[in-house]
A and B are shown apart, each in its own frame.
Chain A
Amino acid sequence: MSKFHVSTNVNGDSVEYLCDPRETLLDCLRDKLNLTGAKEGCGTGDCGACSVSVDGRLVCSCLMLGVEAEGKQIETVEGIADGDVLHPLQQKFIEHAALQCGICTPGILVAAKSLLEKNPNPTEEEARYWLAGNLCRCTGYDKIIRAVMETAEELREAS
């Protein structure tokens, strides 16, 4: 079986890889591009730990094949910080201790960034529904939601 050659763009960089058509985008990001921020929690689209943005749309990278990434713009957690300067969401997650084991954190950061880009002024309910596909078994979610809501407020004041 021949492999497919895929040209795509991840966090602003043009990248290429060869993949088997059965490999997911998550497999390709982690095993071919060494971008191990996105995690495989469930592999069935339930937990959101593999969340990435594809052409501006939040998706589970475990529910998309590597071959489907041809010509797309992909954003992962590795592209959130600006060099050594953390994204405001990352800073707030640290301040609020909105993570414990950290497995869900990359997916939640990507999902929360996507929320604030679409809706800079979400209600707490909107934030909770938006993040309902990102499971966290440590924090009980409150610290995560507080971090997201406070980031939203600060970003609004800064703009």
Chain B
Amino acid sequence: MDYHSPANFAEASALAASATGITRFLAGGTDVLVQLRSELVTPDTLIDVKKIEGVSDIIRNADGSWTIGVAATGAEMSEHPELGGDWPGVVEAMDLIGSTQVQGRATLTGNLCNGSPAADSVPAMVAAGVTVTVTGPDGDREVAVEDIPTGPGKTSLAKGELVSAVNIPARGDNGGDAYLRFIPRTEMDIAVVGVGVNLRLDGDTVTEARVSLGAVAPTVLLVEDCAKAIVGSTLGDAALDALAAAAFAACNPIDDKRGTIAFRTEVAGVLAKRAAKIAYARAKGEQA
């Protein structure tokens, strides 16, 4: 295995473009090292991005949007004094992943590029309308988070391409987000169902919404019917029931040891309602 620690993303991209065999990028390493040690994936080329300047930065831009470096850890996001105020759902979703030790290494970008349908931070990012900057041999392009995963363990990134930044939009006025997941215990487990909700209000009425489901299909889903169910409403019982029904209809899960198809589908609706209520309360400036 060749190990490289390039000084910039163009160099990282060029290394990957010219590499033969299996290439992996190393940020926090909490998935890459497990796969390496268990011999599931033994890369021929490992490209460590942590020596690139600014990769651990969490920056609020002049327009209120956020740029998160690809090696910024979950712990650094949770400790940031303002990020969680703007995007509590994204920060809480990231914070649900693993132990204190894992939080000290794990990154949003790694969680996304690992391609797990059950990745906790991904539905929260999709709901928030997060994009990633992808650097490749032909330069940079900006891609919506929901367009990165293409199936379990698979992404749309081409040879020589890597994520070079995470871009979170400006929170703006009267908005709120939330992420909830179901696991069979209180901590340290993989989502059976995850739901991210992000919405904006005009008075009491929902004017914009994005709803994302995790662990109920081969990729994290952005469900437009869920958003339609609550836009224009004041999140009354009828809207919440319509939201749950849309989530129910969007599910295409598998049976496995953590949950059955029937259970996951049922819980997706329940969590969608609860997450929407939290996001709504946050959009109104209430504690939730």
Contacts and interface: CB of A to CB of B under 8 A. Distances in A.
Given A132-B188, A133-B99, A58 B104 contact: yes
Given A45-B101, A64-B29, A129 B34 contact: no
Contacts of A54: 104
A22 B1 contact: yes
Interface string A1-45: 100100000000000000001101000000000000000000111
Contacts of B161: none
A84 B38 CA distance: 39
Contacts of B105: 59-60, 63-64
Contacts of B34: 44-45, 63
B121 interface: no
Nearest to B2: A21
B22 interface: no
Contacts, number: 84
B86 interface: no
Interface in B1-44: 1-3, 5, 26, 28-30, 33-34, 36-38
A116 interface: no
B33 A21 contact: no
A134 B100 CA distance: 9
Given A21-B2, A132-B99, A133-B99, A68 B187 contact: no
A58 B37 contact: no
Contact of B101 (A4, A24, A65, A111): A111
Interface string B115-135: 000000000000000000000
Given A63-B29, A64-B29, A132-B187, A48 B3 contact: no
A60 B102 contact: yes
B273 interface: no
A59 B28 CA distance: 10
Given A4-B3, A62-B37, A63-B34, A133 B102 contact: yes
A100 to B, nearest CB: 22
Given A43-B37, A44-B34, A68-B50, A63 B188 contact: no
B92 interface: no
Interface in B35-66: 36-38, 46, 48, 50
A43 B101 CA distance: 13
A133 B98 contact: yes
A24 B37 contact: yes
Contacts of A133: 98-102, 188
A133 B2 CA distance: 31
A51 interface: yes
Contact of B1 (A21, A132, A134): A21
Interface string A131-156: 11110000000000000000000000
Nearest to A131: B100
Report which residue of B2, B29, B101 has the largest number of chain A beta carbons within 10 angstroms of its beta carbon: B101
B37 A44 contact: yes
A51 B37 contact: no
Nearest to B3: A21
Interface string A110-140: 0100110000000000000111111000000
A96 B125 CA distance: 45
B100 A63 contact: no
Given A59-B105, A132-B99, 19 more contacts: A21-B3, A24-B33, A24-B37, A43-B37, A43-B38, A44-B38, A45-B34, A57-B104, A58-B100, A59-B104, A63-B28, A64-B29, A64-B33, A111-B101, A115-B100, A130-B100, A132-B188, A133-B98, A134-B99
23 contacts: A1-B1, A21-B1, A21-B46, A22-B1, A43-B38, A44-B34, A44-B37, A46-B99, A46-B188, A48-B99, A51-B101, A54-B104, A57-B75, A58-B101, A58-B104, A64-B33, A67-B48, A68-B50, A111-B101, A131-B100, A133-B98, A133-B99, A133-B100
